[in-house]
Structure 1
Amino acid sequence: MGPLTLMALSLSRRSRGPAPSGATGAARVDRRTKNLTKRLQPGEIAVIDHEDIDRVSAEALVACRPAAVINASRSISGRYPNAGPQILVEAGIPVIDAAGPEAMTALTEGQWLRIDEGQIFAAEGNGDATDDVALVVGIPLTVGGVEDAMALAREGLSGQLQAFAQNTMDYLVREKDLLIDGVGVPEIRTRLDGRHALIVVRGYHYKEDLLALRHYIREYKPVLIGVDGGADALIELRYHPHLIVGDMDSVSDRALTSGAEIVVHAYRDGRAPGADRVRSLGVEPVIFPATGTSEDVAMLLADDKGASLIVAVGTHATLVEFLDKGRSGMASTFLTRLRVGSKLIDAKGVNRLYRARISAASMLVMLLVGLLVLGLALWATPGGSIILQLLGARWDDLKAAIEGIFT
């Protein structure tokens, strides 16, 4: 019996927390989770095909408040301990796992579904089943089952470390000219020389960290660089991005037409599918062919154009986060960080670095003490004494008027 079989058994047998049962709702079907969350409404059922659900995708699903999630693939394959499934089940969202590739065809957009344990039935709008034959069958995830599967996944992490190391070496060979000498970095009109650059990726805790940086943004006025959906994150907080970098698959038309300079991350051979979308909006983009991720391209661009400091929000910083992204090219992020070096400051978790500890009672005491000190200072001067006497007279008049109303 292999580790994946053991994992499936643990997912279905250990049952701390209720198994999904009785959930009904309209289906929203998409193979790409980040596309689905753009239209998924509360109470609907998300149908995805996402092996190893990562933290960012899980948090996006939780924010949509679906009635349930049906995954055609394995939410935990065992390659590494991905955090997404645990976030979903702990949020109380029923998850039907490993429903098979037929789930993406048997379950259609807008179709009403009813979930009974691991079985998915077609249903009427009131939740009554239209047929006793299940359309697809999967494995209900529970908190205990996910914990067991995560423990098994940690045991397989060494194999992923070897693959990560190999991918790192492959990337270094392919992109040594870009990493070492900056060969291939395009010219842009946005001036970065000598300025701070704030790079925003829609990753872990990006919103909280951006809010914590608002004083820094106001004081230093850095060049704001949004990586794909990171541009929308800036706009949501009423900032205007100067540069938008990415393959343009998860950024809104509103951001692309906001006046920011657009840099399309292209394949190494020059193919740039995202460029057509940008041009269709009447914007001419800059093309940057490079292997790796769009956040790497943004960092390399800022570094090459002379940014004195690069502040990263929502980017990937740990090994598990690199693996959680689910791309072999994540090794490029490791090398890019080495290339950028001391210029890079990671703002991850900055919102938790300091929290105000002054209570409301303390604030009230400080206010009263301040007023007392101000009163004493006024009383000690002739002009201040006259002002206080006038204020006292006005207070007596106000008090008498109020008493007159009630008597």
Structure 2
Amino acid sequence: MRFPLRRRVSPEPAGVGGTVRVDARTKNLTKRLRPGDVAVINHRDIDQVSAEALVACRPAAVVNAAESISGRYPNLGPSILVEAGIPLLDHVGEPVMAAVSDGESARVHDGELIVGDTVIARGTVLDAAAIEVAMTDARAGLSTQMEAFAANTMEYLLQERDLLLDGVGLPDIRTDMEGRHVLVVVRGYHYKEDLQMLRPFIRDYKPVLIGVDGGADALVEAGLKPTMIVGDMDSVSDSTLRCGAEVVVHAYRDGRAPGLSRVQELGVKDPVVFPATGTSEDIAMLLADDKGADLIVAVGTHATLVEFLDKGRAGMASTFLTRLRVGSKLVDAKGVSRLYRTSVPTWMLVVLVLAGFLALFVALGSTPAGDTIFQLLGSRWDAFWSWLTGVFE
């Protein structure tokens, strides 16, 4: 175990620095991380979603107490941070989480985290070359992760076969989904871009909007009101929980629901508790399927093997089986923003608008009313020009 280093250094500033923001949970930290801050996290195997959330906050540097790439599998997060130009100080040791506090000024220089003129922790600065070496080693162990994923899949199937096959244990809900389209939003891969591209679909079909934890905030940020919020309630804001949506609290299989107390304290009306082994996005899809949804459109959910492994959780096997269970009802909107992007340049749009106005003027000039309007405008212009020349004379 590494311990904080209390070594004094030269007071001359060097490296990059800013205000320290520290949190063991990356998704909680990004809610209060501001541009120029130094993010101190404890995140083993930084995944793509977490890295993209950090990049969006534009911190001066990221300091990770844990291993950013442990070698279990080729996780995508560290390369995203480094490609964005954010220094990543890796594996400085868990004691750093208690050695620094929110609001302190710190800097990262030469592999060290420095507060004032004191070295607090030391680690390895990951660059593109170091990440490539670590990823090569991680790919060598991918077969082990595949075996573990397969074993977890079978274990989940045995535990939840009644729920998956027959819907046993699904709670009653107030939201009517019979024969309707349902949009399930998870704060995951490319969710913002894909949600933006789906606006015509939302406008035309008015689907039931289900936000999975932070996905409910994503709907609100997009100017939409979630119909239902599903999750363990650890990453959704208080204001969104009070928006009037039906709330389904994801509980452990033994009935424990840590998020229920928070929901009740906020005064949310009649929250529903759903005990299940899988993830919150799983139970959102299972609810939509069981309650008669005609189509389930998923935004930000996990779809590929790399994404299942990149999350680094054994429970992701449940999502794989849930997608098989939902079957043909499920349409994954992942990457729709990259599938279609307008390639019309701005200058062409300007020319098109000007051409439209020109056609309008020509059409008006060919009518008696238009001719009268143009004569009136000409008279006004002559009067203005006469006044203007008189001023200068």
TM-score (norm: length of structure 1): 0.87
The one of 214, 221, 224 equivalent to 1:229 is: 214
CA distance in 2, matches of 1:376, 1:70: 65
For residues 65-99 of structure 1, give each alpha carbon's deviation from its aligned partner in whole angstroms, at most 9, with x where no partner exists.
22222111110011111111111112222211111
The answer to whether 1:373 aligns with 2:334 is no
Gaps of 5+ in 2: 1-13
For the residue of structure 2 that corresponds to 1:135, the secondary structure is: strand
Query: Match of 2:236, as an amino acid?
Result: V
Gaps of 5+ in 1: 1-20, 124-128
Using the TM superposition, give the Cα deviation of residue 102 of structure 1 relative to its aligned residue in structure 2, in angstroms.
Answer: 2.2
For residues 317-357 of structure 1, give each alpha carbon's deviation from its aligned partner in whole angstroms, at most 9, with x where no partner exists.
11111111111010111111111111111111111222223
The one of 325, 328, 338 equivalent to 1:342 is: 328
The one of 125, 133, 146 equivalent to 1:140 is: 125
Query: Match of 2:37, as an amino acid?
Result: E
Using the TM superposition, give the Cα deviation of residue 141 of structure 1 relative to its aligned residue in structure 2, in angstroms.
Answer: 0.9
For the residue of structure 2 that corresponds to 1:197, the secondary structure is: strand
Q: Provide the residue aligned with 2:176 in structure 1.
A: 191
For the residue of structure 1 that corresponds to 2:158, the secondary structure is: helix
Tell me how large the CA RMSD over aligned residues is. Answer: 2.0
Q: Provide the residue aligned with 1:49 in structure 2.
A: 42
Q: Provide the residue aligned with 1:61 in structure 2.
A: 54
Q: Provide the residue aligned with 2:6 in structure 1.
A: none
The one of 135, 143, 157 equivalent to 2:142 is: 157
The one of 331, 334, 342 equivalent to 1:356 is: 342
Q: Provide the residue aligned with 2:226 in structure 1.
A: 241
Query: Match of 2:338, as an amino acid?
Result: R
Using the TM superposition, give the Cα deviation of residue 359 of structure 1 relative to its aligned residue in structure 2, in angstroms.
Answer: 2.8
The structure-2 alpha-carbon separation of the partners of 1:113 and 1:356, relative to structure 1 and needing over 3 Å to count, comes to: closer
Using the TM superposition, give the Cα deviation of residue 383 of structure 1 relative to its aligned residue in structure 2, in angstroms.
Answer: 4.3
The answer to whether 1:292 aligns with 2:278 is yes
For the residue of structure 2 that corresponds to 1:193, the secondary structure is: coil
The answer to whether 1:89 aligns with 2:75 is no
Q: Provide the residue aligned with 1:35 in structure 2.
A: 28
Query: Match of 1:332, as an amino acid?
Result: S
The answer to whether 1:320 aligns with 2:313 is no
Query: Match of 2:356, as an amino acid?
Result: G
Query: Match of 1:294, as an amino acid?
Result: S
Q: Provide the residue aligned with 2:161 in structure 1.
A: 176
CA distance in 1, matches of 2:225, 2:365: 50
CA distance in 2, matches of 1:367, 1:115: 52
The structure-2 alpha-carbon separation of the partners of 1:384 and 1:172, relative to structure 1 and needing over 3 Å to count, comes to: same
Using the TM superposition, give the Cα deviation of residue 197 of structure 1 relative to its aligned residue in structure 2, in angstroms.
Answer: 0.8
CA distance in 2, matches of 1:191, 1:398: 65
CA distance in 2, matches of 1:353, 1:103: 43
The answer to whether 1:25 aligns with 2:18 is yes
Query: Match of 1:149, as an amino acid?
Result: A
For the residue of structure 1 that corresponds to 2:315, the secondary structure is: helix
Q: Provide the residue aligned with 2:287 in structure 1.
A: 301
Using the TM superposition, give the Cα deviation of residue 361 of structure 1 relative to its aligned residue in structure 2, in angstroms.
Answer: 3.2
Using the TM superposition, give the Cα deviation of residue 191 of structure 1 relative to its aligned residue in structure 2, in angstroms.
Answer: 0.9
The structure-2 alpha-carbon separation of the partners of 1:107 and 1:402, relative to structure 1 and needing over 3 Å to count, comes to: same
The structure-2 alpha-carbon separation of the partners of 1:371 and 1:122, relative to structure 1 and needing over 3 Å to count, comes to: closer
Q: Provide the residue aligned with 1:15 in structure 2.
A: none
For the residue of structure 2 that corresponds to 1:361, the secondary structure is: helix
The answer to whether 1:209 aligns with 2:223 is no
CA distance in 1, matches of 2:108, 2:346: 48
For residues 97-119 of structure 1, give each alpha carbon's deviation from its aligned partner in whole angstroms, at most 9, with x where no partner exists.
11122222333444443433222
Using the TM superposition, give the Cα deviation of residue 399 of structure 1 relative to its aligned residue in structure 2, in angstroms.
Answer: 4.3
The structure-2 alpha-carbon separation of the partners of 1:119 and 1:350, relative to structure 1 and needing over 3 Å to count, comes to: same
CA distance in 1, matches of 2:101, 2:371: 80
Using the TM superposition, give the Cα deviation of residue 145 of structure 1 relative to its aligned residue in structure 2, in angstroms.
Answer: 0.8
Using the TM superposition, give the Cα deviation of residue 151 of structure 1 relative to its aligned residue in structure 2, in angstroms.
Answer: 1.9
Correspondence list, 1:255-270, <5 A: 255-270=240-255
The structure-2 alpha-carbon separation of the partners of 1:363 and 1:40, relative to structure 1 and needing over 3 Å to count, comes to: closer
For the residue of structure 1 that corresponds to 2:278, the secondary structure is: coil
For the residue of structure 1 that corresponds to 2:283, the secondary structure is: helix
Using the TM superposition, give the Cα deviation of residue 243 of structure 1 relative to its aligned residue in structure 2, in angstroms.
Answer: 0.2
The structure-2 alpha-carbon separation of the partners of 1:406 and 1:233, relative to structure 1 and needing over 3 Å to count, comes to: farther
The 10-residue stretch of structure 1 (152-161 or 290-299) with the greater mean CA deviation from structure 2:
152-161
Correspondence list, 1:381-396, <5 A: 381-396=367-382
CA distance in 2, matches of 1:406, 1:191: 74
CA distance in 2, matches of 1:369, 1:141: 54
Using the TM superposition, give the Cα deviation of residue 220 of structure 1 relative to its aligned residue in structure 2, in angstroms.
Answer: 1.2
Using the TM superposition, give the Cα deviation of residue 55 of structure 1 relative to its aligned residue in structure 2, in angstroms.
Answer: 1.1
Equivalent residues of 2:38, 2:107 under 8 A apart: no
The 10-residue stretch of structure 1 (185-194 or 379-388) with the greater mean CA deviation from structure 2:
379-388
Using the TM superposition, give the Cα deviation of residue 214 of structure 1 relative to its aligned residue in structure 2, in angstroms.
Answer: 1.4
Q: Provide the residue aligned with 2:204 in structure 1.
A: 219
Q: Percent identity?
A: 65
